[in-house]
Amino acid sequence: MVVATEVTKQVVARQLLENAEERLRLAIEATGIGNWDLDLVDDDLINSPKLAIIFGLDPEDKINEKQLRDMIHPEDRHIALKAFKKAIKTGVYLYEARIVWADGSTHWIRTTGKVIYDDQHKPLSMLGTTNDITERRHDEIMKNDFIAIASHELKTPLTSLKAYTQILASKAKKANDQFFIGALEKCEKQINKMTRLIYGFLDMSKIESGKMQLNTQSFDISALITEVVADNLFMDEGHNLIFKSNGIIHINADKEKIVQVLNNLISNGIKYSAKGSAITITTLVKGRNLKVSVKDKGIGLKLKDQQTIFQRFYRVDNETTRGSSGFGIGLYLSAEIIKLHHGKIGVESQEGKGSEFYFLLPLPV
């Protein structure tokens, strides 16, 4: 007996699906992105030919996950491992790292992925993409080198300018010339502002090249905040800076870097709040951590800005901030400095009602 069944619709549907999959594969390949599917149970890897090319391998050869993992630069393997462990918990896989080809050349990759779980939330597989970002990273390195060199060269003339300004101010005070005293004080404030900006760029280049070093020591954070508040009151008399001390609190940290963070948070409060308003600095011991917060009554932040405010070069774009000066590196540097101290930085804000920036630092055992 022979049974014939009409399957035209099924065949057409299958062909359409295959055509759609092929078009998607070609589109992904055209972007220069390699895609992969890793079975987390038996470590089997299914990959596109482009992935092999990104790793400098023959696209016709069968490759495995261990082979690719071993090609990650020894100094960056901890980054990939940390990202993998985090992905198993959160479901999101993301990292950037260097890889070393068989010919010894170094390349940069960016890998993103998503974990697939079963009904018991057991990880089954991971789907993802990898693309070569070597050119982009080289451009960033060149840019950072340029910023570092330019900033370093600007330090010397600024130091001379400040010295001559202070000499002229001293002579103006002896002559009791109020006009020149006021003008030279304003000049010195602008020189200090430019100096902080240049040192900010230098710090940024150090952070991104991994050369930022901490000079930790034990000191009383309350005494330090008192000094910082006094300096800011001298620079800006239009705001009411209030420090609510919680007594003597000793921490182990880089004193100059913590001053930099405090100045960034206070200057932001000054910049984005009305003259005459209060900016309150508080300290609080929470378990094994010290919390330092700077609270203002300024313009506040939208929720979307709160999530990205600590990113490099990010600036809030609205009618109020559009005319404000700055490059958007102060909060980025503050976040990186606190991260180097194994601490945490954050913000709580409501648009139109002010912001509270804070950071946590571990207390000595």
pLDDT at 219 > cutoff 90: yes
Distance CA 309, CA 289 (A): 23
What's the pLDDT at 27? 54
When the pLDDT of each residue in the chain is averaged and rounded to a whole number, the result is 85
- Domain boundary (153, 179, 208) is at 208
Q: How far is CA 221 from the centre of its chain?
A: 25
In a domain, 187, yes or no: yes
Residue 50 and residue 154 in one domain: no
168: containing domain = 137-208
In this predicted structure, the answer to whether residue 322 has a pLDDT above a threshold of 50 is: no
Q: What is the pLDDT of residues 39-75, one digit of tens each?
A: 998 889 999 999 999 999 998 888 999 999 999 999 9
d(CA 236, CA 231): 9
Residue 28 has what pLDDT? 55
Instruction: Decide which of 175, 208, 241 is a domain's last residue.
Output: 208
- Say whether both 45 and 61 belong to one domain: yes
Mean pLDDT in residue range 229-242: 80
Q: Which DSSP category does 76 fall into?
A: G
In a domain, 3, yes or no: no
Banded model confidence at residue 308, pLDDT cuts 50, 70, 90: confident
Q: Stretch 238-261: mean pLDDT, rounded? A: 89
- Lowest-pLDDT choice from 89-98, 228-237, 280-289, 354-363: 228-237
- Retrieve residue 173's tokens: 């005070």
- Distance from C-alpha of 344 to C-alpha of 26, rounded to nearest angstrom: 43
Segment among 67-71, 114-118, 153-157, 288-292 with least mean pLDDT: 153-157
Choice between 206 and 47, residue whose per-residue pLDDT is larger? 47
Question: Would you tell me how many other CB atoms lie within 10 Å of the CB of residue 150?
Answer: 12
265 and 300 in a single domain? The answer is yes
Looking at the fold, whether 17 and 86 belong to one and the same domain comes out as yes
- Over residues 111-133, the pLDDT tens digits come to 999 999 998 999 999 999 999 99
Q: Are residues 222 and 353 in the same domain?
A: yes
**Is residue 314 within 8 Å of 332, Cβ to Cβ?**
yes
User: Where is pLDDT greater, at 332 or 321?
Assistant: 332
Q: Residue 198 falls within a domain, yes or no?
A: yes
How many separate domains does the chain show?
3
Structure-model confidence comparison of residues 208 and 174, the more confident one? 174
Max avg pLDDT among 26-40, 137-151, 258-272: 258-272
Residue type, 65: E
Structure token pair of residue 119: 């009904």
CA dihedral over 54, 55, 61, 62, signed as positive or negative:
negative
1: in domain: no
Examine the pLDDT at 250 and tell me if it is beyond 50: yes
Give CA–CA dist 276/240, Å, rounded. 6
Q: What is the number of other CB atoms lying within 10 angstroms of the CB of residue 80?
A: 20
CA distance linking residue 70 with residue 55, whole number of Å? 11
- 80 and 141 share one domain: no
Residue 21 has pLDDT above 60, yes or no: no
For residue 31, what pLDDT is reported?
Answer: 59
